[in-house]
Amino acid sequence: MRHGLRRLTGIKVITKKNGKRYIYRRVGTALHPLPDLPENHPEFLAAYAAAGTAPTRPRTRAAAGSIAELIERYLASSDYARMAPSSRAVWRRTLERIREKAGDALLRDLRPDHLRRDIRKLTHGAAANRLKAWRSILRFALDEGMIAADPSAGLRKPRGEVTPHRQWTPAEIEAYRDHWQPGTAERTAMEVIYWTGARCVDAARLGWQMVDSGGWLSYTQAKTHSPATCPVRTLPAWAQRMAQDHTHFRAALPGDRLQWIVTRSGKPRSVKGLSQWLSRAATAAGLPDDCTAHGLRKARASALAEAGATASQIGAWTGHQSLSEIAHYTRAADQKGILGAEQEQNTGNRVEKFPI
């Protein structure tokens, strides 16, 4: 007697208008994201099994109609599950703070002045994040019919300045290289992040397995789910002004393993651990405390601008999706370098690997 294959249960698939699919396993009231792969793929089965063993949240004890109930329903929703893991962690911490402070209050009694008072004493960055969190859960409440009107509608973002991650200067990059010689793990990590412009969440997993036969590194970003591509083995004609950085990058890459950034024992570094470890390495090299991994990402965007890259080329390399983002990260670029750079786009130069 033949037995058919058992189909996996609890699978939920959401397909957006642009064709992008999001796949989840429902365990109780929670949705756990799964990779967009065939159900018989080993990675899909592993993720499916892991979701089944994930700790489940206890059944809600929040009062019906309370802000705490809204937060619990939001954390179990597909809206929350669709976020990148790093974003979910930040969002959960923010929502937990809201629940600790106002969870017992009834949602129907929430007014705009309550929200203003909640964010008024926070720093600018914390206030902006708190307001984003309020808007997300209140939009969810509106869609779910829990409220008839959104009390966050019309609220303005708090005024003030956000101190961005500072871009590394060329002198700081050279000082780091002088301190950490080729062959050290610290040098490899810096060169990989600086050359690729990848966020730590992506840099931690980059390696030869992502380099194609043409010598191009291509990967999907964890935060935005959008692609990023940069040359590894050879440079396109327009990027020759970055040849020295490319030489440093190639010299730092390991030839005895697939993954580039690992611990001394050869294990992959955690995302948070990588960021903090690189900051400590910069401090050990005598650099200021604000020399961070994200500052290297900004330095690469600036170097691309000074090399004469088009906005499309910068975006394809670093993975930024909008012109406003690119402008933000290249604002500190050397204006003389930009004006003096060879503008390949005026000569009709195109690189097929980059989207137009």
Examine residue 163 and state whether it is found in any structural domain, yes or no.
no
How many other C-beta atoms can be found within 10 angstroms of the C-beta atom of residue 277? 19
Higher-confidence residue: 324 or 146?
A: 146
Instruction: Clarify whether residues 219 and 266 are in a common domain.
Output: yes
Residue type, 27: V
| 105 lies in some domain | yes
Q: What is the DSSP letter of 254?
A: -
The rounded distance, in Å, linking the Cα atoms of 271 and 257 is 19
Task: Give the pLDDT confidence score for residue 60 in this predicted structure.
Answer: 52
- Indicate the pLDDT class of residue 354, thresholds 50, 70 and 90: very low
Residue 220 belongs to some domain of the structure: yes
211 and 285 share one domain: yes
The CATH number of whichever domain residue 106 belongs to comes to: 1.10.150.130
Q: Taking 90 as the threshold, does the pLDDT of residue 347 lie above it?
A: no
Say yes or no: 138 and 257 in one domain: no
For residue 240, being part of any structural domain is answered with: yes
Residues 48 and 197 in one domain: no
- Is the pLDDT at 328 greater than 70? The verdict is no
Number of domains in the chain: 3
Domain co-membership, 108 together with 128: yes
In a domain, 355, yes or no: no
Domain boundary (34, 56, 78) is at: 56
Regarding whether 193 and 45 lie in a shared domain, the answer is no
pLDDT value, residue 8: 83
In a domain, 162, yes or no: no
pLDDT tops 50 at residue 198? yes
Backbone φ, ψ for residue 32 (5° rounding):
-110, 120
| Whole-angstrom distance, CA of residue 280 vs CA of residue 291 | 9
pLDDT digits (tens, 9 = 90+) for 224-246: 888 999 999 999 999 999 999 99
Position 202 pLDDT exceeds 90:
yes
273 shares a domain with 258: yes
Residues 6+ apart with CB under 8 A from 87: 223
Does residue 356 belong to any structural domain of this protein? no
Residue 196 and residue 262 in one domain? yes
Q: Give me the torsion for CA of 180, 182, 188, 189, rounded to 10°.
A: 10
Q: According to the model, what pLDDT value does residue 44 have?
A: 82
Is 352 domain-assigned?
A: no
- pLDDT of amino acid 20: 79
- For residue 113, the enclosing domain spans 61-157
pLDDT tens, position by position, 131-141: 999 999 999 99
- Tens digits of per-residue pLDDT, 113-134? 999 988 888 887 788 889 999 9
Task: Report whether pLDDT(318) > 60.
Answer: yes
Please give the average per-residue pLDDT across 265-277, as a whole number.
86
CATH value at residue 309 = 1.10.443.10
Instruction: Give the span between the Cα atoms of 217 and 209, in whole angstroms.
Output: 9
How far apart are the C-alpha atoms of 126 and 94, rounded to whole Å? 9
> In percent, how much of the chain has pLDDT > 70?
86
What does the pLDDT read at residue 2?
A: 44
pLDDT at 343: 44
Higher local confidence (pLDDT), 170 or 165: 170
User: Average pLDDT of 305-330?
Assistant: 81
pLDDT digits (tens, 9 = 90+) for 3-22: 444 578 888 888 877 777 88
Same domain? For 69 and 51 the reply is no
Please check whether residues 41 and 65 belong to one and the same domain.
no
Q: Are residues 293 and 184 in the same domain?
A: yes
Kindly report, residue by residue over 25-76, the tens digit of the pLDDT.
Answer: 888 767 788 888 888 887 888 888 888 776 555 455 678 889 999 999 999 9
List, for residues 91-114, the tens digit of each pLDDT value. Answer: 898 999 999 988 899 999 999 999
Taking the CB of residue 108, how many other CB atoms lie within 10 A of it? 10
pTM score, whole prediction: 0.60
| 232 lies in the same domain as 342 | yes
Distance in angstroms (rounded) separating the CA atoms of residues 352 and 356:
9
CA atoms within 13 A on the CB side of 46: 4
Of the two residues 161 and 222, the one the predictor is more confident about is 222
The answer to whether the beta carbons of residues 250 and 194 sit under 8 Å apart is no
